[in-house]
Amino acid sequence: MSRTRTALLAAMALVAGATGTAFAVDPGGAEVAAVPCTVDYKIQNQWSTGFTAAVTVTNNSAAKSSWSLKWSYAGNQKVTSGWNAKLSQSGAAVTAANESYNAQLANGGSVSFGFQGSYSGSNAIPATFTLDGVTCNVDSGGPGGPTDPPDPGGPANRVNNPYDGAKVYVNPEWSEKAAAEPGGSRVSNQPTGVWLDRTAAVNGAGGKMGLRAHLDEALRQKGSGELVVQLVIYNLPGRDCSALASNGELGPTEIDRYKTEYIDPIKTILADSKYSSLRIVTTVEIDSLPNLVTNTGSRPTAVPQCDVMKANGNYVKGVGYALNKLGDVPNVYNYVDAGHHGWIGWDDNFGPTATIMKEAATAEGATVNDVHGFITNTANYSALKEDNFTINDTVAGKSVRESKWLDWNRYVDELSYAQAFRNQLVSSGFNSNIGMLIDTSRNGWGGTARPTGPGATTSVDTYVDGGRYDRRFNGGNWCNQSGAGLGERPQAAPAAGIDAYVWMKPPGESDGASKAIPNDEGKGFDRMCDPTYTGNPRNNHNMSGALADAPLSGHWFSAQFRQLMQNAYPPLS
């Protein structure tokens, strides 16, 4: 529930302290003084003892090289934290001053910031704002404002790490399949992601639970504590542009269908107050934005379909729209997919990928505040931690970066990559408190073939290949990998900068069919899932390493699940 008063009404009165007064005409024809500045103060989210607010200041006077906005509260409100401004409070008086990066405020220009606060009793909108000592008008509203009563039973405040102190939803459909496998009961109670990989999945397709059914079950599992529900948002137009076959239902130009038929219905369901007590984590559009960096232009890895998606902007628009709409729901935590180290870890991919993510996070009305964090290794196999060599090792006079496996990559494993990429994202303009998730569902690489120490020092290749846990032919291989095992079990806050290890990809669900299978799910045959395929530039022309006899993506693959249990690391007891 949200309502705003228009700035026009306030602009129809002469504001005290205005200098160089200009004049406008109101709808009735009367000449009125234009205000020197306007303030849009919205309460975005309110609960019993706290709230979050968004403030936009528009300067209608001479350009400024710095600015300071001040207001006073009539009640017991207290600013506790903020972003995009330096906020301080003395008694009831609050001051918001510019950061170094948003100090310039042109004539007609606007600047936005936000904050979190606490309150008791009422939470009235401040009556007066001053910009550098000059009084502005107020465009106010939102829950708790003068035109709206507070929302009863409002959603809980976003926490820094949604996984802290919370259980995580166990998908009963996946759990039943896992438990039916020999030994599967050892992991069938683990939480996994719910994949919304086509429009029909939102309401339920093929006899499977829809989104509301999962959320209703999550409420049952929640009990009196906190519970996280993990959703994968995966249906962009022109999806998987670097794949060797179409894997999505929407064509490259169908951005409007993506918005109205897919994202909007998801947002409507998630915004239902019935589910406001859940912590809803979204993984937003895996395997999308990095393609615009690595698989376009004159690169050997370029694919015409990715050039199309870069040119039409629909990946950027789609991700921005999803972040904006889903980010409006106060108990939703958006995590954007950030590829994996075997894709983004090279110098010419690393910075540009963070830049394109910032572009998407500020498209279609989204802001960086709609991004709670990022997730790496989603549905992939990159080892969490390689213990037998480091990026700084030298063998036979050569850096390990010169090995065929690393091929000048700067990261040897997923943990080091996720932590470094987090820093890059902050440097690119994302909030400093963003957290990372790492999908460890299938990156254990245990079993009898797991190395117990470094490889021979004959060459950098014998050293790296003999010691690496990740036993793929190439780090670009992604489909139903032979020899893979379950990785670290889901856990909160396992390492610095990491919000959680998660099983976002449900182990045992196929990555894709190993041969063409007619279907009505929009899932084509990608030869990277064919065990006889000899590769392409994106996996450096290596064998695919895929298991044979795999079903369509998302369908249960019993042989794969049994292999994952057998090769689990840490081992299953």
Distance between CA atoms of residues 161 and 450, nearest Å: 33
Instruction: State whether residue 456 is helix, strand or coil.
Output: coil
Local structure of 213: helix, strand or coil: helix
- From residue 550, alpha-carbon distances to 515, 529, 533, 565 in Å are 8, 8, 14, 17
Residue type, 448: T
- In terms of Cβ atoms closer than 10 Å to its own Cβ (0-12, 13-18, 19+), residue 183 is middle
> Is 511 annotated in the active site?
yes
Residue 415 burial (CB < 10 Å; 0-12/13-18/19+)?
buried
CA atoms of 208 and 177, how far apart (whole Å): 13
DSSP 476-542: T--SSBTT----SPPEEEEETTEEEEE--SPTTB-SS-SS----SSS----GGG-TT----GGGTT-
Nearest to 206 by CA among 561, 524, 525, 523: 523
Location of structure tokens 């906020």:
87
Taking every pair of Cα atoms in the chain, the longest distance, rounded to a whole number of angstroms, is 88
Instruction: Give the whole-angstrom CA distance, residue 285 versus residue 489.
Output: 23
Residue 482 token pair: 């032979």
Q: Is 439 a catalytic residue?
A: no
Residues ≥6 apart with Cβ < 8 Å to 322: 233, 263, 282, 284, 285, 334
DSSP state of 155: P
- Position 373, amino acid: G
Integer angstrom CA distances of residue 219 from 275, 276, 277, 408: 8, 10, 8, 48
Active-site residue (options: 40, 197, 287, 439): 287
Distances in whole angstroms, Cα of residue 281 to Cα of each of 34, 162, 326, 345, 565:
44, 8, 10, 25, 26
Taking the C-alpha atoms of residue 355 and residue 429, their distance in angstroms, rounded to an integer, is 9
Query: 372 in the Ramachandran plot: left (φ > 0), alpha (ψ -120 to 50) or beta?
Result: alpha
Question: 197, 470, 511, 530: which is the annotated catalytic residue?
Answer: 511
Catalytic residues: 287, 511
